[in-house]
Amino acid sequence: AQRVTQPEKLLSVFKGAPVELKCNYSYSGSPELFWYVQYSRQRLQLLLRHISRESIKGFTADLNKGETSFHLKKPFAQEEDSAMYYCALLSGSARQLTFGSGTQLTVLP
């Protein structure tokens, strides 16, 4: 069965510091991975997907199949990055999303 693990419930960094939110997955097939973000008082929304190899709001994430990881990174954190971040895996014939438990990121001034 598929599984997504986010080991850090809470993560705090100072503004301007690099940030890395960890995500590991377990899946027997070819993984499709995503990061979702929920800012305070806003809806949960898609941040980026690995297949697009895109950088959104300065965030990037690289799929590492050897380490079964999909860590989210940003070189210089901003206060507006403070939010709850969820890693998600698309799997199965029904193509469902399985979410990790989330990491609450706080960027301190």
Q: Which residues bind another protein (CB under 8 A)?
A: 4, 6, 9, 32, 34, 43-46, 49, 51, 86, 88, 90, 94-102
Nearest-approach distance from CB 20 to another protein, in angstroms? 19
Comparison of 4 and 72: residue with beta carbon closer to another protein: 4
Comparison of 26 and 45: residue with beta carbon closer to another protein: 45
Beta carbons of 48 and 63 less than 8 angstroms apart: no
Nearest-approach distance from CB 51 to another protein, in angstroms? 8
Sheet holding 19-21, edge to edge: 19-21, 72-74, 60-61
Nearest-approach distance from CB 16 to another protein, in angstroms? 29
CA dist 63 and 72 (Å) reads 10
Comparison of 102 and 105: residue with beta carbon closer to another protein: 102
Comparison of 77 and 88: residue with beta carbon closer to another protein: 88
Beta carbons of 71 and 21 less than 8 angstroms apart: yes
Spell out where 27-77 has E strands.
32-38, 45-49, 60-61, 72-74
